[in-house]
Amino acid sequence: MAVQKQASVPAPPAVNSSADDIWLKCPGCKEISFRKEVERNLNVCPKCEHHLRLTVEQRLAITIDRGTWRELFADLAVGDPLGFVDTRPYPQRIESARQASRRNDAVVTGTGKIERRAAAVAVMDFNFMGGSMGVVVGEKIARLMDHALRRPLPVVVFCASGGARMQEGVLSLMQMAKVSAAVARLRDAHIPYLSVLCDPTTGGVAASFASLGDLNLAEPGAVIGFAGRRVIEQTTSQQLPEDFQTAEFLLAHGMLDAIVPRHKLRYTLGQLLTMLHPAMARATVPRPSRGRR
């Protein structure tokens, strides 16, 4: 599927602040806190430590060393390959998402440093049509991995998605295989790939590259799974555990390597990249030839 360029999306008009902007109700404990207090705590509830969702800008700000971020493939965009219409035409739906987010699709890719370690980084945006994976999302992540392969650079992907984008049909499902193949190329070249599963990571994203990291990390309480809880219960006619499809449940059943609280995540990623860097250097630097004496 050809990916076309699109002009930059203009910023949405400014809105007046209100009392609703001052307070924030925690989805976990239902307590009310000052929004600024929660933001200063990296969007973690200071009362129950529930991890609220981050915007792409917030994620980059707390993860990437200041002044080192360089975005890649920002101009990639897709049209309407299937002429899809649900309650409204797909072009109208995606244009609304572009206007609201000021980006072309549900992932931002680029390079930067984490604790002074260079890396190729992708951050999925759940606010853009539920972080759904279409042609552009798969293309940008696959291109980022191929860019990391040439440098070489380790890859870190922050996953947050409702799964494949139904408005692009089988073209969306193809991205599962495409990105998984890019992960395999990284693995063959011994280039580290760290997957960070955020709330929520579901559907085709969870079933493909989100679960293929050399190390799979998650934030506390993140919802992770393929089908929805109600779908599974109706299909199997079984009552599922209360904590089913949470990061804690997956860690207990061997599906994750670690759960890392947000205030420790940047440091943990930096330490992992430091440990993995010598292995990557040995794998990618050619050995001197053994000529005859």
Full set of structural domains in the chain with CATH: 22-52 (no CATH), 54-284 (3.90.226.10)
Q: What percent of the chain has pLDDT over 90?
A: 83
Q: Can you state the percent helix, strand and coil of the chain, rounding each to 5?
A: 40, 20, 40
Which stretches of the chain are DSSP H helices?
35-40, 56-63, 90-101, 135-150, 169-188, 203-206, 229-236, 247-252, 262-284
- Gap between the Cα atoms of 74 and 103, Å rounded: 8
CA distances from 233 to 127, 230, 244 (A): 27, 5, 11
**What tokens appear for 131 in the block?**
């972080």
Cis peptide before 200 (omega within 30 of 0): yes
Could you read off the pLDDT of 108-156 as tens digits, one per residue? Answer: 999 999 999 999 999 999 999 999 999 999 999 999 999 999 999 999 9
Could you read off the pLDDT of 247-273 as tens digits, one per residue? Answer: 999 999 999 999 999 999 999 999 999
